[in-house]
Structure 1
Amino acid sequence: MNAAPAPLLSNGRQSFSRAELDAEVNALADVLRAQGTRVIATLMDNGPAWVMADLAAAQAGLVHVPLPVFFTAQQIGHALQAAGVDTVLGPWALAARWPGAPTQDCEVAGQALCLQRLPMLPVALPAGTAKITFTSGTTGTPKGVCLDGEALQAITRGLVQALAPLDIRRHLCALPLAVLLENVAGLMAPLAHGAECIVLPLQDVGLVGSSSFDPARLQAAVVRHQPHSMILLPQMLRAWAAWLAHTGERAPASLRMVAVGGASVGTPLVEAARAVGIPAFEGYGLSEGASVQTLNLPGADRPGSAGKPLPHARVRVSAEGEIEVAGSLFKGYLGDAAAPPAWWPTGDLGHIDADGFVHVRGRRKHVLITAFGRNVSPEWVETALRGEPAVAQAVVFGEAQPALSAVLWPTRAELPDSALAAAVERANATLPDYAQVHHWVRASAPFSAEAGMSTANGRPQREAVFHLHADALAAPAIGTH
């Protein structure tokens, strides 16, 4: 009796073998070709339909523009126009956003979707563009990064090669598939390796919007599906590790690799996660490099670093201390005819140690110069603050000031200011005097992308955070709570 084909894609209720996945992808690719689609945007939750749309776009030779569902209507409108999107695929509820645009039923993976044609003017794209990823970066206006198939395949091969010793057979997608990191490292690489991708609705892994996260739901999903690997943002790892420590539970032993990226992680968080059974490994990358460039791995691991360059990536540090990357670069930005240089200046400061591990200190443009002339990377201080169990989010200021100040949000809303004060004191003990925080205020609310206080991957929108708390920061210091 022949065994059933191994699943390659599942959502907890239905699964698809490679042959079944290929059939769905072929059918959708035919529909898109018949429509005359050139640039397609997807706007939907994680699930098999999203995966099939991504693969069908590639097979049909179309440009895919994945849009996160947490983008605002203004951000979505900007992205559609900037990329010259002529077709949108998503739930039927979206059709009301573009009244009068021609619509068509489109069933994908058993899900009823709407294929809608938009009257957008085509725009010039860099030759070979296969995918455009939009990142809000440091402003609320998304920036279009154009990637070609060659770069995406290079990073896929590099990840498959680097992770081969772990023999990962089940990957649970815990980030939105529209986020490039999950799209490439959590979907393309596992599928190329023949691993099963488990793509649940985001609320089933505890994510609501871009910043509301329930670690209990993630734990339940991991216990149920027993994945070998996941990718998390630092704030998700921090909340999950703290929840496990608080409840006395442990992460399932099935996990072999939990890659963490999107922002600085820090040694204390990696160690806290591992103490409760989460095999956390920090990595580093950027959209302009088609996602992840470096990664700590079992056997090549240095907590506090971003790991060594992956097989597809080349990394160096300029004379000014800026990290530069090559090997899987983007083709250019939307609306900018300039081709990227052979080595891309990341804007991140750092160094490569004698053993080849990359260390990232922070953004070059964020470096503060205090009133005493000391250069301080705020990310360095913020990582020390977030290394404290009481601190979930931190933003440090101090340009032209005699001392640094910070806006803090606790890991649990009920934590008193005294817990934050103790956390600041402990973090300060690990920092030189010129990098210590002398004045802090409690944030008025968690930093979120919806509120305009963080990017999709959790990086703070510093200007927005400062303006919201300017009066409190100008008030007498409260660090002696």
Structure 2
Amino acid sequence: MSVPHSVAPPRVTVVEGVVREASLPPLVPPVSRGSLGDLPFDNAAEAPADPVLSRKQPDGTWRDVSAATFAAEVLATAKGLIAHGLRPGDRLAVMARTRYEWTLLDFAAWAAGLVTVPVYPTSSAAQVRWILHDSGAAACVVEGPEQTRLVEAERGALPGLAHLWEIDAGAVPLLTAAGRGLPGTAVTEARATRGPDDIATLIYTSGTTGRPKGCVLTHANFFTEVDNSTELLHLLFKAAGRAPAATLLFLPLSHVFGRTVAVGCMRARVRVGHAPSLRTEDLLADLAGFRPTFLLVIPYVLEKVYNTGRATAEKLGRAASFDRAARVARRWGEAEAARLHGTGPGPGPALRAARALYDPLVYRRIRGALGGEVRYVLSGGSPLGERLAAFCTGAGIEVFEGYGLTETTAAATVTPPHRPRLGTVGWPLPGGAVRIAEDGEVLLRGGHVFAGYWDGELGKAVPAAPGEWFPTGDLGALDADGYLTITGRKKELLVTSGGKNVAPAPLEDRLRAHPLVGQAMVVGDNRPCITALLTLEADGVAHWCRMHGKEGLPPEELVRDGELLAELQTAVDDANALVSRAESIRRFAVLPVDFTEEAGHLTPSMKLKRAAIARDFAEEVERLYER
């Protein structure tokens, strides 16, 4: 397969035998004019008939939306925003699930010269009030009546919020009707006021330890990110094989990961669909109907697919066969990675034969659960884990793992094509650099790094740190070939009473990969040993109960069930294999309730609010240390 660019390995800097820095030159020159608001109109001019989006119809089928049609819808909606008095630089908040209107409003806002402010649809009243107040939003679009009531109840504290529209009540037709009297030149003129260095969006961080902060991302940040990413990951974004490139978005567009991929697909004219429901049966139906060629996921999604596949096999009495197929896939993935790096011959004849045997029995079903056409996956949000990455490769799905933050417009590192290194998050994004500080903190630099945090009182971005390097708060290491491994969070390091430093994230990630574990929080700061709080994964436990004749067992009894605890001990033992004895989990408690955003234990992006969990489950933690 030909590639548009031959990407040489990163340039690395070694200090006293330790790799301290890795960098790659950009694959494309920086954009010098225009904004994201130009993309729909550029597409319509260059390829008007090309499908850029698809909309799900009431009967479950998908209808393509051409570049020309989408540009016309963007123009009509942008005219409506201008007709309501919104001017370039004003902020428009959008609070909705992942749906077609989200992307339409995003590009219409940019076409009108506005700044979009995503708000998680599950946000609390206090979070919504803070984001709308701090951003100075002049208008807000919500999805349904419940969100309308929530925002209406806060209007008294938001004197700057002049407009509130509801998608389910016809927000887009209302805006279109309001703008009919305006000429198209009104949008052209507003669009012309924006350039690469202007603000495209304010994305508020999850706020694990305090109030969310608004990350100021410019149009140039997005262009740098998506242009270099699409050139590097040409396998995903270029038409190949039986079907043109297409992806189904189901991660929140309130999060930078999904949003950046949506922009990248519009830039590359890759067909995009939206799936608002994450219920397993709804998502599987959408995947089957849309048939994407690549997906962006968080590791939980791939874990869910794997665990569901195994549960189905177990129900049919074929668990042993599935486990053998999984071992074959992992061995294949590991052997193939070694071949690509020149450290091994690759899969041998026996492994090739075993993989061919299990492909129609197991691997094709795994791919089928993702729609049948998926060959590539972009994974981010948390580490995927070597075993699952190797399994996916062996099952015929190439995984590109990335690492980044809201502050870096999504990926700051990514797995290079044909050069995976299992257990790492890849090379620096072309045009960017990674540095490891003396204390192990990961520092980042590049055109994808944000302008700073929003200061609501000043109405502008304030730099996050002095100098040209952005401190991420994550800990990591670079190897001799420039691959980055993330080892934990600087602020989350636990220090036992014996003085041992323990990073909880690797243990927690491995625990969450088990089909029975929903969430996990490792405890041990200033304690004699490491322990953990576990919650149960609803689908996995329901299957386990059916297989063990324990359906209907109350949660309070289930968490004390000896067989279940023994099963969970295997998950703990597996996680402990990652660390030394001093860092291992000695005891664990299973909670009868899950950590949820509603209870204040998770952020909207599913990160643990450690202080809140430690407070609410203080008794359970103390009991772990009384034994």
Moved more, 280-289 or 407-416: 407-416
**Cα distance in 1 for residues equivalent to 2:507 and 2:582:** 11
**2:410 aligned with 1:284, yes or no?**
no
Of the two, which has the highest radius of gyration?
Answer: 2
Does the 8 A contact of 1:388 with 1:427 survive in 2?
no
Q: Which residue of 2 aligns with 1:306?
A: 425
Q: 2:503 corresponds to which letter in structure 1?
A: S
The amino acid of 2:418's aligned partner reads G
Structure 2 counterpart of 1:260: 379
Deviation at 1:105, TM superposition (A): 7.3
- Amino acid across the alignment from 1:342: E
- Structure 1 residue 111: Cα displacement: 6.6
1:175 aligns to 2:251 (yes or no): yes
Percent identity for Structure 1 against Structure 2: 29
**Other structure's SS at 1:305 match:** coil
Between 1:287-296 and 1:467-476, the stretch displaced more is 467-476
Instruction: Tell me whether 1:10 sits opposite 2:86 in the alignment.
Output: no
CA separation of 1:264 and 1:458: change in aligned 2, threshold 3 A = farther
- CA displacement at 1:380 relative to structure 2: 2.4
Contact 1:157 1:312 in 2 (8 A): no
TM-score by length of 2: 0.68
Inter-partner Cα distance in structure 2 for 1:432 and 1:425: 12
Q: Which residue of 2 aligns with 1:118?
A: none
Counterpart-to-counterpart distance in 2, 1:176 and 1:394: 22
Change over 3 Å in CA distance of 1:420–1:353 after alignment to 2: same
1:158 aligned residue? 228
Cα 1:84/1:434, change in 2 over 3 Å: same
Distance 2:417 2:471 in 1: 29
* 1:98 counterpart = 2:152: yes
Q: How does 1:353-368 map to 2 (within 5 A)?
A: 353-368=479-494
Q: Give the partner amino acid of 1:402.
A: P
Q: Describe the shift of the 1:137–1:278 C-alpha distance in structure 2 as closer, same or farther (beyond 3 A).
A: farther
Aligned equivalent of 2:339: none
Query: Which position in structure 2 is the counterpart of 1:334?
Result: 454
After superposition, the C-alpha distances for 1:145-199 in whole angstroms (9 at most, x for unaligned) are 11111111111111111111342510110201121110002x0111111110111
Specify which structure has the higher proportion of helix. Answer: 2
Q: How far apart in 1 are the matches of 2:162 and 2:624? A: 59
Mapping of residues 183-202 of structure 1, within 5 Å? 183-185=259-261, 187-200=262-275, 202=276
Deviation at 1:4, TM superposition (A): 9.8
Counterpart-to-counterpart distance in 2, 1:40 and 1:353:
43
Following superposition, the deviation at residue 281 of structure 1 comes to: 3.1
Question: Bigger shift: 442-451 or 67-76?
Answer: 442-451
- RMSD after superposition: 2.7
- The match for 2:214 among 124, 144, 159 is 144
What is the one-letter code of the residue matched to 1:418? A
Instruction: Report if aligned partners of 2:141, 2:167 keep a CA contact under 8 Å in 1.
Output: no
Residues 240 and 278 from structure 1, CA distance in 2 versus in 1: closer, same or farther, beyond 3 angstroms?
farther
Is structure 2 residue 425 aligned with structure 1 residue 381?
Answer: no
Cα deviation digits, residues 423-473 of structure 1 (max 9, x gap): 212332342111110011113322222222122222211112222222112
Could you report, residue by residue, the CA deviation over 1:16-56 in whole angstroms, capped at 9, with x for unpaired residues? 10000001111111121222221111122222211111011
Question: Which residue of structure 1 lines up, in the alignment, with residue 334 of structure 2?
Answer: none
How many pairs align?
455
**Change in CA separation of 1:4 and 1:161 when aligned onto 2, cut-off 3 Å:** closer
Which residue does the alignment assign to 2:549? none
Match of 2:577 in 1: 429
Secondary structure of 1:455's counterpart equals coil
In structure 1, what residue type is equivalent to 2:138? D
Secondary structure of the residue aligned to 1:131 is: strand
Letter in 2 for 1:170: A
Aligned residue for 1:236?
A: 301
Equivalent residue letter for 2:79: D
CA–CA separation in structure 1 for the residues paired with 2:302 and 2:73: 34
TM-score (norm. length: structure 1): 0.87
**8 A Cα contact 1:440 1:478, kept in partner:** no
Q: Distance in 1 between matches of 2:567 and 2:423?
A: 25
Q: Which residue, 218, 227, 239 being the options, matches 2:292?
A: 227
Task: Quote the offset at 1:112 in angstroms.
Answer: 5.2
Letter in 1 for 2:127: Q
Matching residue's letter, 1:148: T
Per the alignment, do residues 476 and 344 of structure 1 end up closer, same or farther by CA in structure 2, a change over 3 Å counting? closer
Q: Could you say what secondary structure the match of 1:188 adopts?
A: helix
Q: Secondary structure at the match of 2:602?
A: coil
* 263-272 or 451-460: bigger deviation: 263-272
1:326–1:342 CA contact under 8 A, matched in 2: yes
Q: Tell me the distance in 2 between the aligned counterparts of 1:438 and 1:256.
A: 40
Determine which of 353, 369, 373 is the counterpart of 2:495.
369
* TM-aligned CA distance change 1:51 to 1:109, over 3 Å: farther
Q: Which has the higher contact order (CA 8 A, sep 6+)?
A: 2
Greater share of strand: 1
Give how far 1:234 is off: 2.1
Q: Distance in 1 between matches of 2:132 and 2:508?
A: 35
Is contact 1:255–1:279 with CA below 8 Å preserved after alignment?
A: no
Shift in Å at residue 113 of structure 1?
6.5
Q: Which is further off, 432-441 or 10-19?
A: 10-19
Amino acid in the other structure paired with 1:399: D
Select 2:519's aligned residue among 393, 405, 429.
393
Residues 309-339 of structure 1, C-alpha deviation per residue, up to 9 Å, x if partnerless? 1224321111221111111121221228632
**Runs of 5+ in structure 1 lacking a partner?**
116-126, 208-213
Are 1:295 and 2:429 an aligned pair? Answer: no
Are the aligned partners of 2:142 and 2:165 in contact in 1 as well (CA < 8 Å)? no
Matched letter for residue 129 of structure 1: I
Matches within 5 A, 1:343-362: 343-362=469-488
* Paired letter, 2:213: K
Write the distance in 1 (CA, Å) between the matches of 2:232 and 2:300.
25
Residues 1:342 and 1:103: Cα distance change in structure 2 (over 3 Å): closer
Partner of 2:140: 88
Contact kept in structure 2, 1:441 and 1:478, CA below 8 Å: no
Preserved contact between residue 43 and residue 90 of structure 1 (Cα < 8 Å): yes
- Deviation of 1:79 after TM superposition, in Å, equals 0.3
Going from structure 1 to structure 2, the CA distance change for 1:95 and 1:427 (only over 3 Å counts) comes to closer
Shift of the alpha carbon at 1:76?
Answer: 0.8
Whether 1:43 and 2:95 are equivalent positions in the alignment is yes
- Aligned residue for 1:324? 443
Q: Is the 8 A contact 1:32 1:60 kept in 2?
A: yes
Name whichever of 73-82 and 4-13 sits farther off.
4-13
- CA–CA distance in structure 1, aligned partners of residues 136 and 485 of structure 2: 38
**Contact 1:297 1:307 survives alignment (8 Å):** yes
Matched, 1:465 2:613: yes
